[in-house]
């Protein structure tokens, strides 16, 4: 396989890890929204950790192999669609990291509450259903979707 083929393969593998990780984290958080018992919330938010790991791995692969693809093709960061994609990608990663802070805090609280009687708790409910975190994660997902569209469409 050519160098371009390898770069593209690992870039697309990164995209799959990134998208899969976002899906795992989103499903875990969405399911936790519908639960009241701290033990259930802790379990569901614990699954999001696997999603976050996939997102991190996918992000590294996408970025590194994206630059590799730029190196082996005639493209460059002076092209608007590539520069825009990179900017949206960085924004998506930053917003996702910020949006993941409250669910992490909620998971830690849920784990503690599960050990202390496993009774529904208003503070836990508030942290799990944090609208700011939801908005940050939604905008991060939209940014990543926009990157994907730019990569497919490649407007010039």
Short-list 86, 104, 106, 84, CA closest to 96? 104
DSSP string, 65-83: HHHHHHHHSS--TTSHHHH
Give how many domains the chain has, as a whole number.
1
pLDDT higher than threshold 80 for residue 139: yes
pLDDT band at 74 (very low <50, low <70, confident <90, very high): confident
What are the backbone angles phi and psi of residue 76, rounded to the nearest 5°?
Answer: -155, 165
Short-list 84, 93, 73, CA closest to 144? 93
pLDDT higher than threshold 90 for residue 156: no
3-state secondary structure of 121: coil
pLDDT of residue 154: 86
Domain residues for the domain of 14 are: 3-153
């Amino acid at each position: 396989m050519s160098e371009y083929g390898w770069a593209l393969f690992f870039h697309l593998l990164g995209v799959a890890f990134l998208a899969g990780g976002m899906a795992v984290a989103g499903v875990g958080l969405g399911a936790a929204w519908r639960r009241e018992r701290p033990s259930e919330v802790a379990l569901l938010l614990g699954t999001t950790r696997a999603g976050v790991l996939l997102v991190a791995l996918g992000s590294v692969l996408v970025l590194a192999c994206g630059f590799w693809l730029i190196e082996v093709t005639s493209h460059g960061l002076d092209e608007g669609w590539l520069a825009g994609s990179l900017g949206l990608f960085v924004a998506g990663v930053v917003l996702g990291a910020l949006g993941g802070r409250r669910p992490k805090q909620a998971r830690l609280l849920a784990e503690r509450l599960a050990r202390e009687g496993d009774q529904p708790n208003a503070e836990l409910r508030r942290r799990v259903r944090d609208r700011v975190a939801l908005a940050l994660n939604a905008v991060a997902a939209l940014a990543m979707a926009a990157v994907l569209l730019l990569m497919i469409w490649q407007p010039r």
